[in-house]
Structure 1
Amino acid sequence: MIKLITASERHQANVGDWLKSHYLFSFADHYDPSNMEFGPLRVFNDDYISPKAGFPAHPHTEIEIVTIVLSGELTHKDNIGNQATISPGQVQRMTAGTGMTHSESNETDEEVHLLQLWFVPNQRNLAPSYELMQVDFLSTKNKLTPLVTGQKVLEDVVFLNSNSTVYYGSVDQGEEINFRTFKIRKTLLYLLSGSLLVNNVEADIHDQVRLDDQELVTIRGTSSATFILVDVPALEVNY
């Protein structure tokens, strides 16, 4: 099955003047029982945070949080001693596990654009942990670059407690990328810029293509495009 979800179908959150956010799934005060998750992927938010603003300290449990900064800088602080400024080309993973409190803020004079993805972990009662890695994915061309994974076949990638992988993709007009998968897995592709044909389905900026029961995902640039591809198990065995 292949499903196209257009940019206009994303939920635009009404949070305040300091945050512009689009939710790809049910989140916070937005509830859609038909769109709760995609395998273990529970949250995918596309956020813009204004200068000198952000999320104050707040708690999480039993969730894997992946943060990808596309422009600007985001400052992370948590209660287990981590403090870092995340820049474009870096990827952060936070394992909330049995309980973790953190804050996220834009301490600069420029807007920050970030993506945040939450995954249900494949183990309960994990100790809280944190990882930040320089990946330099934004300069890649005509390839998929793994950013975070729980699949042990990939190295030098941020670790995730889920049998899932998040890729950054870039393809020039007329070029093609083939992503081989399995019918027991699912693929979500979210367009950041440009336009694509995904298994012959036309997708434009901020559209999503969700696929399952596929063995090959063919991604062709109808213009130069960038995107996030999330590869997840159709059914994650948890706990």
Structure 2
Amino acid sequence: MINIRPFASLGHADHGWLDARHHFSFANYHDPSRMGWGRIRVWNDDKIAGKSGFPPHPHRDMEIVTYVRTGAITHQDSLGNKGRTGAGDVQVMSAGSGVVHAEYNLEDEDTTLFQIWIETDRPNASPGWGAMPFPREARDGAFQLLASGEPGDGALTINADARIMGATLKGGSRIELEADPARHLYLVPSAPVRINGVAAGARDGVAITGEASLTIEGDEDAELVLVNAR
């Protein structure tokens, strides 16, 4: 099953400093048919104005992955962690038993990012944060693992049975990926693509399950972000 969730159908909230699109029910946006996808609970497509951001606020028992598309985000938390994550790179926060964090765009220009929440497999674990650079050229024509629940795989570690991956697709080419039909995959492309022949537009959500393999092709260059979860 490949289900397209058009960008125009996503939840929308414009707070001035934050222009957010919600793939799943979040805050004041509620759609009973979009409460999550497997263990994926939140996928927000955010644009954050320069010199603004999310002030300190708490979380617990959630794996929060931030994929920066353009600009940069600066993180700080109650554990003493602080770091700047730039375009194409990823940060993860395991909220665990509880953490207070802030995310600021300290740049002069807008920052765009995906914030993805995945239900934890380890409630009340010790909280943590991490970030890594992932040069886009390293994922030309193939998916690169960015974060997963498997320590030691060279990616960022989260406390969930999930894999977060990114790829860059050249126009006129294709990427093939094996899949487990029992898993829940969610893909967001930056430009129109076809997934096993099913057309998706730029920044549409693509909910996938029951597929043993994926062939992703497009006529334009596209950046792909994919989460594979239980």
TM range (shorter): over 0.9
Q: What secondary structure is seen at the aligned counterpart in 2 of 1:189? A: strand
Runs of 4+ in 1 over 6 A off after TM superposition: none
- 1:61 Cα deviation from its structure 2 partner: 0.7
Report the 3-state secondary structure (helix = DSSP H, G, I; strand = E; otherwise coil) of the residue aligned with 1:161. Answer: coil
Tell me the TM-score normalized by structure 2.
Answer: 0.95
In 2, Cα distance between equivalents of 1:103 and 1:209? 29
Q: Aligned partners of 2:150, 2:229: CA distance in 1, in Å?
A: 10
Given that 1:88 and 1:138 are in contact with CA atoms closer than 8 Å, whether structure 2 keeps it comes out as no
Q: Is 2:164 the partner of 1:205?
A: no
Structure 2 Cα separation of the partners of residues 20 and 139 of structure 1: 30
The equivalent residue for 2:227 is 230
What is the match of residue 102 of structure 2? Answer: 103
Structure 1 unaligned residues grouped into runs of 5+:
234-239
**Contact map agreement 2:136 2:168 (CA 8 A) in 1:** no
Q: Which TM-score applies when normalising by structure 1?
A: 0.92
Q: 2:177 aligns with which of 164, 169, 179?
A: 179
Deviation for aligned residue 1:173? 2.0
Q: Is the 8 A contact 1:89 1:138 kept in 2?
A: no
Q: Letter of the aligned partner of 1:231 in structure 2?
A: N
1:63 Cα deviation (Å)? Answer: 0.5
Segments of structure 2 that go 5 or more residues without pairing to the other structure are: none
Q: Could you say what secondary structure the match of 1:8 adopts?
A: helix
Partner of 2:148: 149
Per-residue CA deviation, residues 25-83 of structure 1 (Å, 9 max, x unaligned), is 00011111111111111000011111111111000011111111121121111001101
1:218 is aligned to 215
Overall identity of the aligned pairs, in %: 32
Q: Distance in 2 between matches of 1:22 and 1:181?
A: 27
Corresponding residue for 1:126? 125
Equivalent position of 2:9 in the other structure: 9
Instruction: Give 3-state SS (helix, strand or coil) of 1:13's partner.
Output: strand
> Alignment length, in residue pairs?
230
Paired residues of 2:149 and 2:158 also in contact (CA < 8 A) = yes
How far apart in 2 are the matches of 1:45 and 1:173? 26
